[in-house]
Structure 1
Amino acid sequence: MRPHASSPRKKTIRAAAFVASAAMVVIGIQTGSANAQPDSSREAGATALLLTPAERTASIKAAQADTSAQADHLGLGAKEKLVARDVIKDADGTVHTRYERTYDGLPVLGGDLVVHEKPSGARTVTKATSAKIAVAGTDAAVSSSAASKAALKAATSADSGEKAKSPRKVVWAATGKPVLAWETVVTGTQKDGTPSELHVITDAATGKRLAENEAVHTGTGTSKYSGTVPLGTTKSGSTYSLTDGTRGSHKTYDLNQGSSGTGTLFTDADDVWGGGRQTAGVDAHYGAAETWDFYKEVLGRNGIKNNGVGSYSRVHYGNNYVNAFWQDSCFCMTYGDGSGNANALTSIDVAAHEMTHGVTAATAKLNYSGESGGLNEATSDIFASAVEFYSGNSSDVGDYLIGEKININGDGTPLRYQDKPSKDGASRDYWSSTLGNIDVHYSSGPANHFYYLLSEGSGAKTINGVSYNSPTYDGSTVTGIGRDKATKIWYKALTTYLTSTSKYAQARTATLSAATDLYGANSTEYKAVAAAWTAINVK
Structure 2
Amino acid sequence: MRLVASSPRKNSSRTHAARLAALVASAAMVVVGVQAPLAGAQSGTDRASGATALPLTPGQRAEAIASAQADSAAEAEALGLGAREKLVVRDVVEDADGTVHTRYERTYAGLPVLGGDLVVHQAPSGTRGVTRATDARIAVAGTDAEVGPASAKHTALKAAAAERTADATAGSARKVVWAASGTPVLAWETVVKGVQADGTPSELHVVTDATTGKELFRDEAIHTGTGTGDYNGTVTLGTTKSGSTYNLTDSGRGNHKTYDLNQRTSGTGTLFTDADDVWGGGRQSAGVDAHYGAAETWDFFKNVLGRNGIKNNGVASYSRTHYGNSYVNAFWDDSCFCMTYGDGSGNANPLTSIDVAAHEMSHGVTSNTADLNYSGESGGLNEATSDIFATAVEFYSGTPSDPGDYLIGEKIDINGDGTPLRYQDKPSKDGASKDYWSSGLGGIDVHYSSGPANHFFYLLSEGSGAKTINGVSYNSPTSDGSKVTGIGRDKAIKIWYKALTTYMTSTTNYARARTATLSAAGDLYGTSSAEYKAVGAAWTAINVK
- For residues 95 and 260 of structure 2, the distance between their equivalents in structure 1, rounded to whole angstroms, comes to 40
Structure 2 residue 216 is matched with structure 1 residue 207: no
Q: What secondary structure, in the 3-state scheme, does the structure 2 residue paired with 1:376 have?
A: helix
Q: In 2, are the aligned partners of 1:114 and 1:496 still within 8 Å (CA)? A: yes
Q: Please tell me the residue identity of whatever aligns with 1:150.
A: T
Residue 123 of structure 2: aligned partner: 118
- For residues 208 and 191 of structure 1, the distance between their equivalents in structure 2, rounded to whole angstroms, comes to 25
Aligned residues: 504
Q: In 1, are the aligned partners of 2:170 and 2:192 still within 8 Å (CA)? A: yes
Correspondences of 1:93-492 after superposition (within 5 Å): 93-155=98-160, 156-492=162-498
- For residues 369 and 56 of structure 2, the distance between their equivalents in structure 1, rounded to whole angstroms, comes to 15
Once superposed, what is the RMSD of the aligned Cα atoms?
1.1
Structure 2 residue 84 is matched with structure 1 residue 79: yes
Give 1:159 shift: 2.8
Residue 537 of structure 1: aligned partner: 543
Q: In 1, are the aligned partners of 2:48 and 2:95 still within 8 Å (CA)? A: no
Q: What secondary structure, in the 3-state scheme, does the structure 1 residue paired with 2:165 have?
A: strand
Give 1:160 shift: 1.6
- Determine which of 476, 497, 505 is the counterpart of 1:499: 505
Give 1:224 shift: 1.1
Q: What secondary structure, in the 3-state scheme, does the structure 1 residue paired with 2:315 have?
A: coil
Q: CA 1:403 to 1:127, structure 2 compared with 1: closer, same or farther past 3 Å?
A: same
Q: In 1, are the aligned partners of 2:194 and 2:203 still within 8 Å (CA)? A: yes
Q: Please tell me the residue identity of whatever aligns with 2:64.
A: S
- For residues 342 and 249 of structure 1, the distance between their equivalents in structure 2, rounded to whole angstroms, comes to 29
Residue 508 of structure 1: aligned partner: 514
Structure-1-length-normalised TM-score: 0.92
Q: CA 1:44 to 1:222, structure 2 compared with 1: closer, same or farther past 3 Å?
A: closer
Give 1:47 shift: 5.5
Q: What secondary structure, in the 3-state scheme, does the structure 1 residue paired with 2:316 have?
A: coil
Q: What secondary structure, in the 3-state scheme, does the structure 2 residue paired with 1:111 have?
A: coil
Q: Please tell me the residue identity of whatever aligns with 1:233.
A: T
- For residues 438 and 46 of structure 2, the distance between their equivalents in structure 1, rounded to whole angstroms, comes to 38
- For residues 529 and 51 of structure 2, the distance between their equivalents in structure 1, rounded to whole angstroms, comes to 14
Which runs of 5 or more structure 2 residues have no equivalent in the other structure? 1-34, 36-41
* Greater length-normalized contact order (CA 8 Å, ≥ 6 residues apart): 1
Give 1:90 shift: 1.0
Moved more, 195-204 or 159-168: 159-168
Q: In 1, are the aligned partners of 2:51 and 2:307 still within 8 Å (CA)? A: no
Give 1:154 shift: 1.3
Q: In 1, are the aligned partners of 2:462 and 2:485 still within 8 Å (CA)? A: yes
- For residues 518 and 324 of structure 2, the distance between their equivalents in structure 1, rounded to whole angstroms, comes to 43
- Determine which of 56, 59, 65 is the counterpart of 2:61: 56
Structure-2-length-normalised TM-score: 0.91
Q: In 1, are the aligned partners of 2:326 and 2:346 still within 8 Å (CA)? A: yes
Give 1:99 shift: 0.1
Q: In 2, are the aligned partners of 1:386 and 1:487 still within 8 Å (CA)? A: yes
Give 1:120 shift: 1.4
Q: What secondary structure, in the 3-state scheme, does the structure 2 residue paired with 1:226 have?
A: coil
Give 1:39 shift: 2.4
Q: In 2, are the aligned partners of 1:46 and 1:92 still within 8 Å (CA)? A: no
- For residues 318 and 361 of structure 1, the distance between their equivalents in structure 2, rounded to whole angstroms, comes to 25
- For residues 521 and 289 of structure 1, the distance between their equivalents in structure 2, rounded to whole angstroms, comes to 35
Residue 89 of structure 1: aligned partner: 94
Residue 8 of structure 2: aligned partner: none
Q: Please tell me the residue identity of whatever aligns with 1:130.
A: D
Give 1:50 shift: 1.4
Q: In 2, are the aligned partners of 1:97 and 1:114 still within 8 Å (CA)? A: yes
- Runs of 4 or more above 6 Å deviation: none
- For residues 40 and 534 of structure 1, the distance between their equivalents in structure 2, rounded to whole angstroms, comes to 23
- For residues 112 and 239 of structure 1, the distance between their equivalents in structure 2, rounded to whole angstroms, comes to 47
Residue 23 of structure 1: aligned partner: none
Residue 523 of structure 1: aligned partner: 529
- For residues 419 and 328 of structure 2, the distance between their equivalents in structure 1, rounded to whole angstroms, comes to 16
- For residues 212 and 50 of structure 2, the distance between their equivalents in structure 1, rounded to whole angstroms, comes to 51
Give 1:497 shift: 0.2
1:200-222 per-position Cα deviation (integer Å, ceiling 9, x unaligned): 00000000000000000000001
Q: CA 1:472 to 1:349, structure 2 compared with 1: closer, same or farther past 3 Å?
A: same
Residue 26 of structure 2: aligned partner: none
1:330-379 per-position Cα deviation (integer Å, ceiling 9, x unaligned): 00000000011111000000000000000000000000000000000000
Which runs of 5 or more structure 1 residues have no equivalent in the other structure? 1-19, 21-36
1:67-112 per-position Cα deviation (integer Å, ceiling 9, x unaligned): 0000000000000000001000111111000000000000000000
Q: Please tell me the residue identity of whatever aligns with 1:144.
A: P
- For residues 359 and 46 of structure 1, the distance between their equivalents in structure 2, rounded to whole angstroms, comes to 14
Q: Please tell me the residue identity of whatever aligns with 2:377.
A: E
Q: What secondary structure, in the 3-state scheme, does the structure 2 residue paired with 1:43 have?
A: coil
1:28-71 per-position Cα deviation (integer Å, ceiling 9, x unaligned): xxxxxxxxx96255335875531211111011000000000000
- For residues 44 and 344 of structure 1, the distance between their equivalents in structure 2, rounded to whole angstroms, comes to 36
